[in-house]
Amino acid sequence: MSSELEALRAAVREFCDREVRPTAQQRDRDESYPAELLPGLVELGVLGAVIPERFGGAGLDDAGYRVVIEELGAADSSLRSLVSVNLGLVGKSVLRWGTDDQQERWLPGLARGELGAFGLTEPEAGSNPSQMTARAVRDGDGWVLNGAKIFITNGTRGAVTMVFARAIVDGEDRGITCFLTPQDAPGYTGRQIHGKLGLRSGDTAEIALDDVRVGDDAVLGEVGGGMKVALSALDDGRFSLAAGAVGLAREALEVSVRYAGEREQWGGPIAGKQLVQELLAAMHVDVQAAGGLVDAVVKKKLAGERCTLEVSTAKLFATEASVRCADRAVQVHGGYGYIDEYPVQRMLRDARVTTLYEGTSQVQHLIIGRLLTGVSAF
Ligand SMILES: Cc1cc2nc3c(=O)[nH]c(=O)nc-3n(C[C@H](O)[C@H](O)[C@H](O)COP(=O)(O)OP(=O)(O)OC[C@H]3O[C@@H](n4cnc5c(N)ncnc54)[C@H](O)[C@@H]3O)c2cc1C
């Protein structure tokens, strides 16, 4: 790793050690949003990591972004999720598909912590977003949005949501379209979802759209081109998620090695027990393998090559590996792993969602299968 990347890793880790790790358990217990951490993340350049400097961001490439997300994933997945959505799904989409005006309007805010959200999932349309029923009806020189979205990260605490809806013009369905919708637009209502298994300090919302009016300048990409926008965003989002999962798995291993060295049973540290070492060794293999798959994505991305196969492979393996590692970490900690004096039970709960969102593990298998065979089994 280059010295710049090492310095970046050290800076983000230092921030996480000072500001994030000490508060993560309490925020998880209270389901409290990490608003007080955002100014520090802005100052560090994390919230604008991939946004070009001309828009107030840090202008990092995907190698730098991976390091930032891995470190956040190690410290607190709720915070990692907030940043992954802000940048991996929203910032990169506005950079890829946005007009000059859209980029100037939204990117500086994203870098300043006025967050972005990605509104694809609906109550009746999850793994198959083409079932969506949200509508954007052409009215005069704009659009009127109606519908419902669910499980939307940053959905109430952000400034803008990429709302995916069917564009209806003169009664005809012109296809799924993405609309950059201000969260303070009249008719946009967000409601926090409480009682989550993990990511309890994050903003996950249900969104109601009641006659929300937006102009043509809200359309990101083309009318009817929403699935292209969504799929390209998910490629970036899944990369981010895989990097975060590597961070979580690595942290689970680090705290387990430390605990195994300190905890004494049978007259010595449990680190000396072969079956404990087996747990640690299995975690190490997962961390190394998942990291290698993320490296492969970074390499392709830096070369400007398409990498959907590599991204789905890394997302599938790294997220499943993070669940395995967090589960083994609980095992290494014994009964203490089951209570929130130690971070490993939070890590297990936080890891669990990563095999569900941005395409479940089943969906990743189907994407990989389709790319290998040319046949869709969805
Ligand atoms: C905390 C959290 C945050 C989220 N953040 C966002 C966000 O910011 N934006 C957003 O748009 N969405 C978000 N989501 C939604 C998430 O992406 C969906 O939950 C996910 O895509 C799965 O959809 P679903 O829940 O409707 O499950 P379903 O699609 O109903 O799937 C249920 C089960 O069926 C399986 N299944 C479905 N289809 C197939 C098939 N063809 N073959 C085999 N098995 C199949 C699935 O793998 C799964 O096991 C979030 C979810 C959570 C929990």
Residue 122 CB–ligand 1 contact under 6 Å:
no
In which element (H, E) is residue 212 found? strand 204-215
Q: Which residues contact 30 (CB under 8 A, 6 or more apart)?
A: none
Catalytic option among 71, 114, 320, 358:
358
Helix (H, G, I), strand (E, B) or coil at 193: coil
Specify the residue for token string 């800076």.
11
Atom of ligand 1 nearest to the CA of 149: 11
Distance in angstroms (rounded) separating the CA atoms of residues 366 and 378: 6
Which CATH number is 3-115 given?
A: 1.10.540.10
Q: Which residues contact 274 (CB under 8 A, 6 or more apart)?
A: none
SS3 for 13-56 is HHHHHHHHHHHHHHHHHHCCCCHHHHHHHHHHCCCCCCCCHHHC
User: Where, residue-wise, is CATH 1.10.540.10 in the chain?
Assistant: 3-115
Ligand 1: residue whose CA is nearest its atom 41: 378
HSE toward the beta carbon, residue 183, CA cutoff 13 A: 23
- Residue 365 burial (C-beta neighbours within 10 Å; 0-12, 13-18, 19+): middle
In 3-state terms, the chain is what percent helix, strand and coil (to 5)?
Answer: 60, 20, 25
Q: Which residues contact 310 (CB under 8 A, 6 or more apart)?
A: 293, 296, 297, 300
Residue 85 CB–ligand 1 contact under 6 Å:
yes
Distance in angstroms (rounded) separating the CA atoms of residues 308 and 196: 30
DSSP 8-class letter at 125: B
**Per-residue confidence in pLDDT tens, the chain, 378 aa:** 899 999 999 999 999 999 999 999 999 999 999 999 999 999 999 999 999 999 999 999 999 999 999 999 999 999 999 999 999 999 999 999 999 999 999 999 999 999 999 999 999 999 999 999 999 999 999 999 999 999 999 999 999 999 999 999 999 999 999 999 999 999 999 999 999 999 999 999 999 999 999 999 999 999 999 999 999 999 999 999 999 999 999 999 999 999 999 999 999 999 999 999 999 999 999 999 999 999 999 999 999 999 999 999 999 999 999 999 999 999 999 999 999 999 999 999 999 999 999 999 999 999 999 999 999 999
Atom of ligand 1 nearest to the CA of 362: 47
Class of the CATH domain delimited by 228-373: mainly alpha
User: Where, residue-wise, is CATH 1.20.140.10 in the chain?
Assistant: 228-373
Helix (H, G, I), strand (E, B) or coil at 170: coil
Q: Ligand 1: which of 319, 360, 365 to mutate, judged by most atoms within 8 Å of the beta carbon?
A: 360
The pLDDT of residue 1: 82
Q: For domain 117-225, give the fold.
A: Butyryl-CoA Dehydrogenase, subunit A; domain 2 (2.40.110)
User: Where, residue-wise, is CATH 2.40.110.10 in the chain?
Assistant: 117-225
Residue 362 CB–ligand 1 contact under 6 Å:
yes
The pLDDT of residue 233: 98
pTM for the whole structure? 0.98
Residue 120 CB–ligand 1 contact under 6 Å:
yes
